[in-house]
Structure 1
Amino acid sequence: MLGAALPAWSADVIGSTPDKPSYVAGDGFPAEMSVNWSSGQPELRVLFDCLDDVQHGHSLISAAAQGDVREGIHRFFTPEAGRPSSAPLWHSVAWRPPSRLVHKTYFGLYEWPEDERYAAVDEAMARLGMAAAWENARARVENADGKREIEFFAVDLAGEADARVKIYYRNHGADLAEVNRIASTALRHDTGSALAAYRTLAGSRADAGDAALSCLAFRSGVDGADECTTYLRLSDLAADDQEAVDRTAALLAGEGVDPARFRALAASLAPGALEDSRGLLELVSYRASGRRGDITTYFRLPVFETSAARRLSPVDLA
């Protein structure tokens, strides 16, 4: 199923350096693997950058949306709608057995000026019937302290009533209290459990680390952001992958999830001893909206030599 979804680059031989570095991973590799640990049964996710094969990505959107209003949403992120360029397109597949495969698409807005990002999001949210919810959430977020920017717009490609539309903010110089305030703009958010989770992941630090992300999720019929997921960058907050894994395992255990499978997965993906690597477990996210153990671990696989490609940022790509 994954093979059918992958873009044309999946047939290329991997060399020592990426032909076209992707923003997905620090070494430029265009894919990541993540696992959500809630509900007693892990959900496996594989996310990949479509790179130059954007048309294939748009075809996936249309096929997966199956006539839903989301089917034509990609047009708002192309020059066809007046944008300065086509937004980088990422696609993911997620599977929690025995449920069916779920498709998700992410539009990268980081290459555009800020006003173009908002114009695209405003038009897309209006098309989806969520303009009022977005206006409400945006006002609450942008009245909060700190500096942040919209970086991604994402959609769940499904017709179900609980299918989400997601808007990702990248925070700059935020502390844990600030990312908790952003998350609390969502209608469903437990500030106490969220702050405790962030502190477990951050260790002795009070800051949220480099470029923490806040993802606001919107659903039809909800007058605002329904929930918020906070992503902390463990490659910055922890000294090495062993420390990152240990902190995440402690968080999982505290949420009632046996961390044994997570530890086994991390060890199997590491190129050597976990204490000798950093950035394999790049991000850990936590969502405090009523479901225990709603933790996702994001693995960036060490494919290229780190000297071969530097970490990209919105400033580099602007």
Structure 2
Amino acid sequence: MLRSLLPPWAHERIGPAPAPPSYVADDGFPAEMSVNWSGAHPELRVLFDSLGHDVVWPGDSVFHTRRLDHVRETFTPRAGRPSPAPLWHSIAWRPPAGLIHKTYFGLYSWPHAHREAAVAEAMARLGLAEAWARTRRRVETVEGDREIEFFAVDLTEDAQARVKIYYRNHGAGLAEVERVAAVALHHDSGRARAAYQTLAGEGAGAGEAALSCLAFRSGVDRAAESTTYLRLPALAPDDGEAVERTAALLHEQGVDPGRFRTLAAAVAPEPLSRSKGVLELVSFRAAGRPGDVTTYFRFPVFDRPPPAPFRPSISDDHR
């Protein structure tokens, strides 16, 4: 399916450098693979940067939902933004259920005032302005340095479809990311703290650029759920240790870690004890479903990292 959607990727050879580079992975490769381990069957996901290409889903009339139509223009120069927001897409599949599609708007290159204005407008268009305002006020009571980085929508009209807003935390400790997560309505702080500590090891820091995702659903007056993403290369010396900490978390959550270990070893280009960054992120959501752990794999494809994208600091907007 992915090959049929992206003709340039299907037919162009991957060279020694990205052209153009993507922000998905540190080396500029425009895709990652992840697996959510909750439930009887894992959910496989592929996230990719469209790199400026239009993506037409099979059965587009089904997946091209009103929700996406409501907000798409909000993230373009037609709405006063400095540039079109890069589009990332995700396909998620948990057999025997059908595919789920998601779209992500990358806000990371804009000044912060533009990010906040776009998110506020999009949430208003979706009827979630009050929920966002209440949630944002709660987040702003948490001390620390963070910025809005992504806005995402589930491409379905299902009542449980989510709108997600991602914060990147700078220099945060585990206690700080827990306080951000706790602004959500459904969140078990005790479970979350224990999970973060298992991943972080003996330290109290959340590592470099931990992410906080707040998920909104229709009919809920603030963020319904939260997911915290810890960047394992900043917390563990190598992929071997990162995998073992993640396996311990899965075991604590009642999930047999055997399939995860097998997958990690299969996708790493060398023994896990000699690699770092293949297991890039591990996320945990403490919202009632057991074993809600997702592992994110990024593949070292290019010889050297691309130039970093422009990323204004929070001080640029005098916040």
TM superposition score normalised by structure 1: 0.94
The 1:309/1:75 distance shift into structure 2, 3 A limit, reads same
Match 1:165 to one of 160, 163, 166: 163
Q: CA deviation at 1:69?
A: 3.0
Task: Note the alpha carbon deviations across 1:208-258, whole angstroms, 9 max, x for none.
Answer: 000000000000000000000000000110000000000000000010000
Match 1:202 to one of 185, 196, 200: 200
Amino acid in structure 2 at the alignment position of 1:231 = Y
Aligned match of 2:306: 309
Q: Distance in 2 between matches of 1:10 and 1:234?
A: 31
Percent of aligned pairs with the same amino acid: 63
Task: Note the alpha carbon deviations across 1:166-209, whole angstroms, 9 max, x for none.
Answer: 00000011100110000000000000000000000000110000
Match 1:227 to one of 225, 228, 236: 225
Q: Distance in 2 between matches of 1:310 and 1:235?
A: 20
Aligned match of 1:184: 182
Paired residues, number:
313
Aligned match of 2:31: 31
Amino acid in structure 2 at the alignment position of 1:3 = R
Aligned match of 2:143: 145
Q: CA deviation at 1:143?
A: 1.5
Q: CA RMSD in A?
A: 1.7
Q: Distance in 1 between matches of 2:106 and 2:309?
A: 13
Contact in 2 for aligned 1:26/1:312 (Cα 8 Å): no
Match 1:217 to one of 215, 218, 226: 215
Q: Distance in 1 between matches of 2:111 and 2:285?
A: 29
Aligned match of 1:69: 67
Amino acid in structure 1 at the alignment position of 2:171 = G
Q: CA deviation at 1:81?
A: 1.2
Aligned match of 1:85: 83
Aligned match of 1:2: 2
The 1:240/1:63 distance shift into structure 2, 3 A limit, reads farther
Q: Distance in 2 between matches of 1:76 and 1:308?
A: 31
The 1:149/1:228 distance shift into structure 2, 3 A limit, reads same
**Which has the larger displacement, 76-85 or 187-196?**
76-85
Contact in 1 for aligned 2:247/2:257 (Cα 8 Å): yes
Q: Distance in 2 between matches of 1:45 and 1:146?
A: 31
Q: CA deviation at 1:71?
A: 2.7
Match 1:110 to one of 108, 111, 115: 108
Tell me, what secondary structure is at the counterpart of 2:39?
Answer: helix
Q: Distance in 1 between matches of 2:131 and 2:311?
A: 27
Q: Distance in 2 between matches of 1:94 and 1:141?
A: 29
The 1:289/1:313 distance shift into structure 2, 3 A limit, reads farther
Q: Distance in 2 between matches of 1:287 and 1:157?
A: 21
Q: Which runs of 5+ in 2 are unaligned?
A: none
Aligned match of 1:49: 49
Q: Distance in 2 between matches of 1:217 and 1:299?
A: 22
Contact in 2 for aligned 1:28/1:311 (Cα 8 Å): no
Q: CA deviation at 1:12?
A: 1.5
Q: Distance in 1 between matches of 2:250 and 2:36?
A: 11
Q: Distance in 2 between matches of 1:268 and 1:315?
A: 37
Contact in 1 for aligned 2:213/2:228 (Cα 8 Å): yes
Q: Distance in 1 between matches of 2:76 and 2:94?
A: 32
Determine whether 1:17 maps to 2:24: no
Q: CA deviation at 1:80?
A: 1.4
Contact in 2 for aligned 1:70/1:128 (Cα 8 Å): no
Q: Distance in 1 between matches of 2:237 and 2:193?
A: 21
TM superposition score normalised by structure 2: 0.94
Q: CA deviation at 1:4?
A: 3.0
Q: CA deviation at 1:314?
A: 2.6
Task: Note the alpha carbon deviations across 1:132-159, whole angstroms, 9 max, x for none.
Answer: 0000000000111111000000000000
Contact in 2 for aligned 1:217/1:226 (Cα 8 Å): yes
Contact in 2 for aligned 1:125/1:134 (Cα 8 Å): yes
Q: Distance in 1 between matches of 2:137 and 2:236?
A: 33
The 1:312/1:248 distance shift into structure 2, 3 A limit, reads farther
Contact in 2 for aligned 1:42/1:96 (Cα 8 Å): yes
Q: CA deviation at 1:21?
A: 1.1
Contact in 1 for aligned 2:87/2:105 (Cα 8 Å): yes
Aligned match of 1:236: 234
Q: Which runs of 5+ in 1 are unaligned?
A: none
Q: Distance in 2 between matches of 1:84 and 1:35?
A: 34
Q: CA deviation at 1:60?
A: 4.5
Aligned match of 2:96: 98
Q: CA deviation at 1:19?
A: 1.4
* Higher percent of residues as helix: 1
Aligned match of 2:260: 262
